[in-house]
Amino acid sequence: MSIHIDPDASEAQLYSDLPSPLILPPSELLENYEPNVLAPLVRCSKLPFRHLTSLYETHITHTPMMLAEEFSRAQIARVSDFSTSSDERGVYWMTPCSGKGKGKEVIRVNHPEDYHSTSYEKCSITYHKSPSSSSSRYERLPPNPTPPNRDSQLVKGVLMAQFASPNPTSLADAAELISPFVDGIDLNCGCPQRWAYNEGIGCALLRKPELVRDMVKTVKGRMGWNWPVSIKIRVDPDPQQTVTLIQNALSVGISHLSIHGRTRHQASTDPVNLDGIKFAVETVNGQVPCTGNGDIWTYEDVINMRNKTGVKGVMAARGLLANPALFANYSSTPSHAATQFISLSTSYGLIFPLFHRHMAYMLESQFSRPEKVWFNSLSSSVSAIDWLEGRGLDWRSQRDTVWDARRGRGTVEHVHI
């Protein structure tokens, strides 16, 4: 993609002249660009939070784990579990990767508020209408109108739906229902919770390689061989079990593999096993790209994960809950991330318990102990927002100048299925 930049053009003109971004399947995005990934978080990776992380160099996002049987047979489960927006996927300047397993230094793409500017062109650009589009749709913008280097390309982000299933038919039914709204599905083979194991899902599948194979094969048979289906696993104390599981999954054409570097029985406080992730990557032997997950708290951790394991993608969970701008190399949650989450949550709609939990995660390091106690006692989104405004968090004045592509209050479109 060759982009000619007029040195005399205004920023608004540069945005309006942008070409359409590349739209790639997840495997190609992983293989060629080494993207950053939001993990499927229990209840927490709902639409407003996915959209938020997409503003800060998180290129692939996942829904929370959904139960395929419930999703495929009950409308109430589909409405409760999944909603999306045409604007939740980000658009990014990405540089094709070269070399194997080499962590890349991040190029900070500043949020406009970092400039402390009040100029129109720094603060008020939100949407643009594609010159090649005949529709009235306005599209997501990259954070800056000019590429950070001559090799950078405009690439659109990816949304994956994660399902847990004990049988092939339910997974294929769920995949077919959700397929118009996502870029592929991920089969959960890693949830360690006892209830999930007892239901035959999550970690129960780690030692059922033939069932995993049959589930992927059934989805492919329903959706087409090229339709993306990935699996997310944990490392196994017995390496041969990992080999068998991966070989079965590869035999039916998984698009990519995500590896969490802890066993089923390890707590999240145990250090991640990078050697175990590396072993899984070596077992794949380049047949599909891999993503590594576990203990990603800083951008240095991102680079370390790539260097020591050979994964193409790096997935964060708790680290992004604490700091949604982690992948953009912010050391802690910047104020504009907090204000944008309030704006996104109020526009999309997010139940108070989840809104409260996210804000507590994001701002925990900035609260004193008495403030934490007080914030935890609040009982509504209104009271939480009022209290945060009293601490100086100004989100109302930013509602018409949100960085990524939002047109203001009440105009974010999203769908349920």
Catalytically annotated residues = 191
* Angle ∠(305,46,328) on CA atoms, nearest 5: 40
- Cα dihedral 22, 24, 26, 30, rounded to 10, equals -60
CA dist 190 and 231 (Å) reads 9
Q: Residue 200 corresponds to which amino acid?
A: G
**Cα Rg for the chain, rounded, in angstroms?**
21
CA angle (336, 43, 231) in 5-degree steps? 105
Q: What is the distance in angstroms between the CA of the first residue and the CA of the last residue of the chain?
A: 36
| Residue whose entry in the numeric block shows the structure tokens 């913008």 | 141
Are the C-beta atoms of 160 and 182 separated by less than 8 Å? yes
CA distance 253 to 245: 13
